[in-house]
Amino acid sequence: MAEIWAPIGAAIARLLGPQAEVVVHDPVTDRVLAIWNPMSRRGPGDPSLLGELDTMTPDESGVYGPYQKLLPDGRRLSSVSAVVSDDEGSPIFVLCVNLDRTPFEQAAELLSAFAAPVTERPKVLFEHDWTERINQVVGGYVREHGRQAGQLTREDRLSVLAELDRLGVFDVRRAAPLVARALRISRSGLYALLAELRDQRSDR
């Protein structure tokens, strides 16, 4: 019977290996029939010790888990076990997949380190960096509204320009081309929007 399911066990092991141990058990003899990528120093013919499944409840398809297991070296595993039964409902074998969580935990720790709070940037270094200020305003608006700069509407661009104008960006020489580039519009389009913005202010 193990030969029938050997290609399935091998396929799972090939996809998830070397992080996954795949085991086929005989529930009648409580012995290991086949194993791929062994992590627990077991081999075919060794005791399966499937009694642990008696304390858990399978889902409607006969699958247990995911549940946690530990290796002697302290590594944590996420495990699932599928009980395959015959037409009369008697278990004929159990397929277990034990996934080593170590690489994923290490990756999570690494990402958490990058996500750690950063210190406030030194204002003295950026006080006169208008390029940085333009990027902050445009980038902040893009992130807040979930649209790329090239997808901003005319009203969006007017809002961005109003904030940049309030910060005095357009009082700086050569700021306009940088703003136009950040907003993905032409310089003439930028000047037209600025004129519209200032007309709106004068009408108030």
One-letter amino acid at 49 equals L
The H or E element spanning position 137 is: helix 130-145
pLDDT in tens, 143-153: 888 888 888 89
What is the phi/psi pair of residue 25, to 5°? -110, 150
Which residue is it, tokens 């791929």?
36
| Beta pairing, strands 91-100 & 76-85 | antiparallel
**Cβ proximity of 35 and 25 under 8 Å:** no
What number is the average pLDDT over the span 185-196? 91
Residue 4 has pLDDT above 90, yes or no: no
Domain boundaries, the chain: 2-107, 123-202
Dist. CA 40–CA 133, nearest whole Å:
57
Q: What's the CATH superfamily of 2-107?
A: PAS domain (3.30.450.20)
pTM: 0.54
CA distance 184 to 179: 8
